[in-house]
């Protein structure tokens, strides 16, 4: 739980700093900094066990396909017992 709290605090601090910084600078520099922060944030999120939405969907699809394969194998294993 402490990890989630510290992660949430980090997100809040970064969000505040980005908003504060973006009010005082020009747009091209903001885009560069946003991209750098996004990369660093993604690394931090992954190190905390989080995944992106795209990764989550891919893992969910993979799990669904694996469940279908396991179900089919279980059915095939049951067929000889019922004969």
| Cα–Cα distance for residue pair 61/72, rounded to 1 Å | 17
The pLDDT value recorded for residue 82 is: 65
Q: Which structural domain, as residue segments, surrounds residue 23?
A: 1-50
* Angle between helix 2-23 and helix 27-47 axes, rounded to 10 deg: 170
Q: Are residues 34 and 69 both part of a single domain?
A: no
Spell out the long-range contacts of 47-53 with Cβ–Cβ below 8 A and sequence spacing 24 or more. 48/3, 48/7
Q: How confident is the model at residue 67 (pLDDT cuts 50, 70, 90)?
A: very high
The pLDDT value recorded for residue 7 is: 74
Higher pLDDT, 25 or 76: 76
Region 48-62: mean pLDDT is 89
Q: Are residues 41 and 81 both part of a single domain?
A: no
Query: Which is nearest to 11 in space by CA: 54, 41, 51?
Result: 41
| Cα–Cα distance for residue pair 69/72, rounded to 1 Å | 5
Q: What pTM does this model have?
A: 0.48
Q: Are residues 46 and 74 both part of a single domain?
A: no
Q: Are residues 43 and 81 both part of a single domain?
A: no
| Count of structural domains within the chain | 2
């Amino acid at each position: 739980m402490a990890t989630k709290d510290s992660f949430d605090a980090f997100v809040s601090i970064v969000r505040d700093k980005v908003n504060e910084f973006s009010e005082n600078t020009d747009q091209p520099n903001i885009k560069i900094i946003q991209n750098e922060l996004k990369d660093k944030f993604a690394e931090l999120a992954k190190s905390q066990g989080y995944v992106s939405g795209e990764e989550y969907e891919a893992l969910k699809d993979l799990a669904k396909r694996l469940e279908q394969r396991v179900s089919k194998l279980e059915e095939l294993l049951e067929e000889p017992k019922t004969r």
